[in-house]
Structure 1
Amino acid sequence: MARPNDEVEALLQEYADLLAITGGDAFKARAYEKAARAVAGCHDDVSRMEIRQLREIPGVGKSIADKIWEYFEHGSVQAIEEVRAKIPAGVRQLITIPTLGPKKAAVLYHDLGIASIEELLDAIHHERLRDIKGFGPKTEQNILHGVELMQQSRGRVLLDVAMGVAEEIVTALSTVTGCRRCTYAGSLRRFKETVGDVDVLAAAEDSGPIMAAFRELPFVAEVIASGETKTSLRTTKGLQVDLRVVRPAAWGAALQYFTGAKAHNIRTREIAVHARLKLSEYGLFDVETGDLVVSETEEDVYRRLGLPWIPPTLREDRGEIEAALAGELPELVRESDLRGDLHTHTDLTDGVAPLEEMVAAAAARGYAYYAITDHAPNLYMQRMSDDKMLAQRDQVRALDRAHRGMRLLHGTELNIDADGGVDWPEEFLAGFDLCVASVHSLFNQSRDEVTRRLVRACENPYVNIIGHPSARLIGRRPPLEADYDEVFRACARTGTALEINSFPDRIDLRDEHILWAKKYGVKFAIDSDSHAVPHLAAIRFGVGTAQRGWLTAEDVINTWPLTRLRTFLRKGRKR
């Protein structure tokens, strides 16, 4: 269930892609891409804005504002429908394939007449793509992998989308008379990066009013099944939501049962069996007498099994049971532990909010420090220059401590080139408080090339953080192929942190990589990669992912006091 702003973002991005396919003005396509980001980052609901207000959104001019207004007035935009009509639906579907993109889709359509995914797969099978410039065996492999990714992601949504739906439902049901407790459970409570369906749990003596309120929510498209204890429905955006209502006395057992991954729950039931107990969603029972032992809280259930309460994000059967039995569960990093955000953007490059707004919003979150890291010049479409960056540095210094005493760090997001080099010579880099370095291009290098590329970036004395290290986009671009053992060793050796990028379509590093890197002693930075004020709040998803990777506050550099952080950022070099 997307916000109106998200709907418009998708619409404008689609128009930009369609312009690229039809050979439209590249500048115009980029303008719509920027407008899409601006609308997504806007605080206010664009469906409630007047034309005048729409035009005040950065990057949204008269023509785009008119299209947004038309969309909410008529449900469609004539100009976009006209472009859609020029292109078969199958071609429009091609641009949804990760690794393909609008330009390659346009070539396939115009040169080979490919107008569907099925025709594309057939062309690859018969090696027809190899006759086109820029399409070789490696491109074929990437496209096939992209199709596989797309098929795997069908029916699943990103974490932030599922969370938005779940929180709206929990808020609505919590106000129903008789509802004693309500929350989301399942993979969402474990902060999995994608969610197949949403599980909501409520406690009440009478389930009827809650079930009725659930069925009558405004975004319900279909009630799949409904009973006294469980109702399943599908939202207008196609997401299935399952609501279970239990008696308040069974709350803890139900929450434990419906939160853990299947493997975790099997382990806890095995422990119960060995203790001559039976564990279910209704409680923990004595096998011989059938008497209820405990059920009211999760803590009670785990305690009776001889375990401390296990945080939901660890309930995957990846060693948490053994750690709990040994008294070695980590004290996981929390969002409240974060003292700052070390990767953010402004409208100087591809952000949509000015520096002052981003700084004020960060201060309102209670941060002790905050870094501005706009893009460097090798990402040429951002049109960065030395003079622009130095002028921003003056602005940052002037705003330092201006908001609740929050300290500002002036940084940049560098581009890791094909050989591991970065923008700007060392004498210019020395003027930054910190540098994030990320891969933004050439994603199809060999495993050895990518490994050397990342290791060399780590060895740069001015690179402090590797941003979104695998460069993946969930469901759209696969992670870089690299020898990550070698990369993680380089990070630990050089004192380079790895980013946990909180942006929901990245979540990069993912939990498995975090667990892997932690074994080498690598430090991490949990960042929002914000391009607009609302993005700052997405850092919660990075924290949840860090917890899934068993990280403590000590593992995360932006939980440290500023003096300790500055020492780390010096990376052993003299200043």
Structure 2
Amino acid sequence: MPRCNDAVADLLQEYADLIAITGGEPFKVRVYEKAARSVGGYVQDLSALDEAGLRRIPNVGQSIAAKIEEYLRTGAIHQLEELRAKVPAGVRRLIDVPTLGPKKAMVLYEEVGVRSVEDLEAAIHAGRLQGLHGFGPKTEDNLLHGIALMHKTGARVRLDAAMEVAEAIVAALSDVPGCVRCAYAGSLRRMKDTIGDVDVLATADDSAALMAALPGLPAVAEVIAHGETKTSVRTDTGLQVDLRVVTPGSWGAALQYFTGSRAHNIRTREIAVHKKLKLSEYGLFDVVTGDSIASTDEEDVYGRLGLPWIAPTLREDAGEIEAALAGALPRLVTAGDIRGDLHTHTVLTDGLASLEEMAEAAAARGYAYYAVTDHAPGLSMQRMTDAKALEQRELVRALDGALGGMRLLHGIELNIGPDGDVDWPPGFLDGFDLCVASVHSHFGQSRAEMTARLVRACENPHVNIVGHPTARLIGRREPVDADWAEVFAACARTGTALEVNAFPDRLDLPADLIRLAAGAGVVFSIDTDAHAVPHLAHLRYGIGTAQRGWLTPEQVINTWPLDRLRRFLRKGRRTR
């Protein structure tokens, strides 16, 4: 169940999309897009605001505030409903195809009769787009690639969306009389990038109350199956939730069984067989006598198998069993190890909150230090200038240490150009405490070109961290193609950290590449890339991704004390 703010943000974005599809003014589209971002990133719950409070939200004027009020009052926006009636749902879905914009989606509908993604794929293969203005062979190839990317993602949802649903359901079921324990399990507990469905596990002496409670929750739109110990529902966002109820004495075994990947569970069952035991969701049993050996606690189940407890994020049969048997499991980095966030934005560029608001929120999280890294001038739409950067630096210095002793760092997010150059000359970059550098364009370069581009950025003495290194957007843009072994070697050689970007549509560097980079001696920074105060809470997803990559606190630079971090940030340039 999304926050009210998120639900309204989705509606405003849909309104913007429909205006664009139906040929509305581009200015109006941008107004609603900006309002959607502002509402989604606003700290206060919209349902608690009056009209004056709504209008204090950046980019929300009188007309948009009225639409929000209408939604809060009635559950709908009549002008949005009118636009929906003009555009078939399948056509609205077309704009989710990467590289296909609203105007082209409407052209396909009006001139070719394309009413869905399936129609589009068939029309391309049948040659029905040939000769259509703006749809050459290259465009067709891009569209097919975008459709393939959508199919690859399938019905899976982002980690954060699944987490919101799961935590709300767990909280609701935990309050049901008779419920002893309740938690989410499955791929969500393993913190995978995307989630197919949500597994919820509960214990109770009598499952009836829990089985009755799940279908009655507000977000449940459909009951798929209903039984005595398992019920499956589909939420109003289309996500399937499976609830299983076991007796309290089986909790540990069930949690172990329903958390691990299939391959991990096969390995643990094999270990059980070799010890003349049987492992299932009900417990660990002696094969000969049938006696229960362990079932109540996960730690005891693993212990009786001769293994230490294995963190859920490692349960993929990716070497964790061997490491556990050898006593070599890593001490994984946790949120409690993080001393500060090194990649965040403010209203100076594309953020939604002021420097003061972002810093106050960071201080409230107990950080020892915090960096603001607004965009450099290479992203022209952000309108950064030398003067603005210097003015912000003065504000950073004035606030440094004033918020509970938290130290403020003045950073910048540079753009890695097609040839590896970055914004601003060395003399100007000398004044920043740290520099994050990221790829924001020319994603289609060849493997050799992209590799050289990233290596050159690493060799820049001012680049401390490569931000969201693969530039992927989950479900929307594939990772760039690079020789990652060469990039990782350059990072290790030059003392350049790689970011684990915690934003849920990035989670970049991905876990598999984290392990390869760590093996090459690279260090990392787990950052939120926050553009609003609520985004600071995304750190948990970066932590989960880092854990899946087997990272320890020592390998993460923003777990280090500030003096050690500052020594690292000097890199090869002169001391300020």
TM-score class, shorter? over 0.9
Give the 3 Å change call, closer, same or farther, for CA 386–337 of structure 1 in structure 2: same
Q: C-alpha displacement at 1:465, in angstroms?
A: 1.0
1:465/1:499 contact within 8 Å kept = yes
1:296-345 deviation digits (Å, cap 9, x = unpaired): 11111111111111000000000000000111000000000000000111
1:347-376 deviation digits (Å, cap 9, x = unpaired): 111111111111000000000000001111
Residue 293 of structure 1 aligns with an amino acid whose one-letter code is I
Correspondences of 1:371-386 after superposition (within 5 Å): 371-386=371-386
Correspondences of 1:156-195 after superposition (within 5 Å): 156-195=156-195
Does residue 7 in structure 1 map to residue 10 in structure 2?
no
Equivalent-residue separation in structure 1 for 2:420 and 2:85 (angstroms) = 44
Equivalent-residue separation in structure 2 for 1:559 and 1:161 (angstroms) = 27
Q: Which moved more, 1:395-404 or 1:45-54?
A: 45-54
1:507/1:541 contact within 8 Å kept = yes
Alignment-derived partner of residue 299 in structure 1: 299
Does residue 440 in structure 1 map to residue 430 in structure 2?
no
1:496/1:523 contact within 8 Å kept = yes
Residue 246 of structure 1 aligns with an amino acid whose one-letter code is V
User: C-alpha root-mean-square deviation of aligned residues, in Å?
Assistant: 2.0
Q: Percent identity?
A: 69
Give the 3 Å change call, closer, same or farther, for CA 155–121 of structure 1 in structure 2: closer
Residue 145 of structure 1 aligns with an amino acid whose one-letter code is H
Does residue 423 in structure 1 map to residue 410 in structure 2?
no
Residue 503 of structure 1 aligns with an amino acid whose one-letter code is F
Q: C-alpha displacement at 1:124, in angstroms?
A: 3.1
Equivalent-residue separation in structure 1 for 2:67 and 2:527 (angstroms) = 34
1:20/1:106 contact within 8 Å kept = no
Alignment-derived partner of residue 98 in structure 1: 98
Correspondences of 1:399-478 after superposition (within 5 Å): 399-478=399-478
Q: C-alpha displacement at 1:106, in angstroms?
A: 5.5
Alignment-derived partner of residue 67 in structure 2: 67
1:527-575 deviation digits (Å, cap 9, x = unpaired): 0111111110110000001000000001111001111111111112222
Residue 419 of structure 1 aligns with an amino acid whose one-letter code is D
Q: Which moved more, 1:276-285 or 1:132-141?
A: 132-141
Q: C-alpha displacement at 1:23, in angstroms?
A: 4.6
Equivalent-residue separation in structure 1 for 2:272 and 2:122 (angstroms) = 53
Correspondences of 1:219-234 after superposition (within 5 Å): 219-234=219-234
Give the 3 Å change call, closer, same or farther, for CA 496–385 of structure 1 in structure 2: same
Correspondences of 1:86-485 after superposition (within 5 Å): 87-102=87-102, 104-105=104-105, 114-125=114-125, 137-485=137-485
Q: Which moved more, 1:218-227 or 1:192-201?
A: 218-227
- Secondary structure of the structure 2 residue equivalent to 1:476: coil
Equivalent-residue separation in structure 1 for 2:381 and 2:133 (angstroms) = 24
Give unpaired runs (5+ residues) of structure 1: none
Q: Which moved more, 1:32-41 or 1:540-549?
A: 32-41
Residue 467 of structure 2 aligns with an amino acid whose one-letter code is G
1:146/1:478 contact within 8 Å kept = no
Work out the number of aligned pairs and report it.
575
1:178-224 deviation digits (Å, cap 9, x = unpaired): 22211111111100111111111112222222222323222222222
Give unpaired runs (5+ residues) of structure 2: none
Correspondences of 1:8-87 after superposition (within 5 Å): 8-85=8-85, 87=87
Residue 366 of structure 1 aligns with an amino acid whose one-letter code is G
- Secondary structure of the structure 2 residue equivalent to 1:481: coil
Residue 262 of structure 1 aligns with an amino acid whose one-letter code is R
2:450/2:482 contact within 8 Å kept = yes
- Secondary structure of the structure 2 residue equivalent to 1:209: helix
- Secondary structure of the structure 2 residue equivalent to 1:414: strand
Q: Which moved more, 1:307-316 or 1:483-492?
A: 483-492
Equivalent-residue separation in structure 2 for 1:358 and 1:40 (angstroms) = 15
- Secondary structure of the structure 2 residue equivalent to 1:299: helix
- Secondary structure of the structure 2 residue equivalent to 1:374: strand
1:142-161 deviation digits (Å, cap 9, x = unpaired): 32221122123332211111
Q: C-alpha displacement at 1:258, in angstroms?
A: 0.7
Q: C-alpha displacement at 1:103, in angstroms?
A: 5.4
1:94/1:117 contact within 8 Å kept = yes
Give the 3 Å change call, closer, same or farther, for CA 54–268 of structure 1 in structure 2: same
- Secondary structure of the structure 2 residue equivalent to 1:462: coil
Give the 3 Å change call, closer, same or farther, for CA 346–518 of structure 1 in structure 2: same
Q: C-alpha displacement at 1:418, in angstroms?
A: 1.7
Equivalent-residue separation in structure 1 for 2:571 and 2:139 (angstroms) = 39
1:99/1:477 contact within 8 Å kept = no
2:462/2:572 contact within 8 Å kept = no
Q: C-alpha displacement at 1:46, in angstroms?
A: 1.9
Give the 3 Å change call, closer, same or farther, for CA 500–427 of structure 1 in structure 2: same
- Secondary structure of the structure 1 residue equivalent to 2:30: helix
- Secondary structure of the structure 2 residue equivalent to 1:245: strand
Q: C-alpha displacement at 1:123, in angstroms?
A: 4.4
Q: C-alpha displacement at 1:458, in angstroms?
A: 1.4
- Secondary structure of the structure 1 residue equivalent to 2:258: helix
Could you state the TM-score of these two structures normalised by the residue count of structure 1? 0.95
1:160/1:504 contact within 8 Å kept = yes
- Secondary structure of the structure 1 residue equivalent to 2:200: strand
Q: Which moved more, 1:418-427 or 1:211-220?
A: 211-220
Equivalent-residue separation in structure 2 for 1:158 and 1:468 (angstroms) = 17
Q: C-alpha displacement at 1:62, in angstroms?
A: 1.3
Q: C-alpha displacement at 1:247, in angstroms?
A: 1.4
Give the 3 Å change call, closer, same or farther, for CA 493–100 of structure 1 in structure 2: farther
Equivalent-residue separation in structure 1 for 2:302 and 2:563 (angstroms) = 40
Equivalent-residue separation in structure 1 for 2:519 and 2:138 (angstroms) = 33
Equivalent-residue separation in structure 2 for 1:308 and 1:367 (angstroms) = 32
- Secondary structure of the structure 1 residue equivalent to 2:234: strand
Equivalent-residue separation in structure 2 for 1:9 and 1:140 (angstroms) = 31
Equivalent-residue separation in structure 2 for 1:146 and 1:237 (angstroms) = 22
1:468/1:501 contact within 8 Å kept = yes
Equivalent-residue separation in structure 2 for 1:170 and 1:84 (angstroms) = 34
- Secondary structure of the structure 1 residue equivalent to 2:232: strand
